[in-house]
Copies of this chain bind each other. A is one copy, B any other.
Amino acid sequence: MRNFEYYNPTRLVFGKGTIEKISELIPASSRVLLLYGGGSIKKNGVYDQAITALGAFHIDEFGGIEPNPQYDTCMKAVARIEECNSDFILAVGGGSVLDAAKFIAAAAKFEGDDAWDILSKWAPVNDAIPIGAILTLPATGSEMNAGSVISNENKGQKLFFGSDHVRPRFSILDPETTYSLPPIQTANGIVDAFIHTVEQYATYRASNPLQDRQAEAILRTLIEEGPKVLANPNDYEARANIMWCATNALNGWLSLGVPTDWAAHVIGHELTALYGVDHGTSLAIVEPGVWVHQRQRKREKLLQYGERVWDIGDGTEDERLDAAIEKTDSFFKSLGIGTRLSDHGITEDACALVAKRLADRDMKIGEHADLGEKEVTEILRLRL
């Protein structure tokens, strides 16, 4: 096992009816900026629950955070914070609103000239406005981690930053808030949690038997519970299990002491930045390609994955390996996700273009940090 550190002070409050607890969780006399997305929280009752629960707190609002939150929108929220003297951000929504809240919280306290440097140069984040969250879309794990991904359509970029200062002080996870999600968002969330898990698992053999089995635990649960929530969106237990899996998949625990990949994420982010592909869908497109391309180096872990997650016991090693990849692809498709570039109208020229963009940033990706322009092109060609 590699050496590691872990620190995660986010307070989780999980279960039905828990939104009413926010008034105990936000420091008294805070001036709260309520941050949200396209307005679905006004239709599904979560907005009203939050306003009621906030009671006597001073509340200002900023709505309109997009999926793949935009830098320009975030900077408007920073201006709103200055205007309102907000000293607490309550993010109500999914990973996009959470990620936006983290960047806004850091940008509002940033001492440099250009807050974009936080993303493009990883300029130090020395302070941030405290954040709390009401999660309404299980997917990104942002509710219990220090990371954030922000897009900039003017630059055609989608970049990551992380800081302990932007960890949510608390996150409320009420599975009932997810009943009204459109099926494609539910499906993308399941895929996102699934790929987060395998990015920290399907690499090369190391001595991490517990971490391996903890990853397999999440994968099997997603495979069992995913179809249930799509068949019956109001199945509380299944919704709760999916929500819990998504938090477990990216709260930092799975990656402790182990090699990690993240190639599908890096490539997927480009597909989102260039073609607007949903984040979860972009991962479902790319990951099987990474696995086919890297099947020799990932061989041992993919065979273990096939055996333990999909009960694949028969056939030659190559047949089992093919079956493991095929079953993964089929699982994503069964959730209603198009797993090929062509399903989204993306043509062959995208393969070289994405690869070139990463090469221009000197990116060498994967668990060996050696997949470059040639390999990324090949991976995407496998997913036409």
Give A residues with C-beta under 8 Å from B: 1-18, 175, 207-210, 213-214, 216-218, 220-221, 224-225, 237, 240-241, 244-245, 248, 256-257
Contact = CB atoms under 8 A, between A and B. Distances in A.
Contacts of A248: 210
Given A217-B213, A257-B14, A207 B5 contact: no
A216 B217 CA distance: 9
A240 B1 contact: yes
Contacts of A8: 8-9
Contact of A4 (B14, B207, B208, B210): B14
Contact of A220 (B16, B213, B241, B257): B213
Contacts of A208: 241
B244 A257 contact: yes
Number of copies: 2
A214 B218 CA distance: 8
A28 B268 CA distance: 44
Given A214-B217, A217-B210, A241 B1 contact: yes
22 contacts: A1-B14, A1-B175, A3-B14, A3-B15, A3-B16, A3-B17, A4-B15, A6-B11, A207-B237, A209-B220, A209-B221, A209-B224, A209-B225, A209-B241, A210-B218, A210-B241, A210-B244, A213-B217, A213-B218, A214-B214, A214-B217, A217-B217
Contacts of A257: 14-15, 240, 244
A1 B213 contact: no
* Interface core residue of A218, A241, A245 (most chain B CB under 10 Å): A241
A1 to B, nearest CB: 4
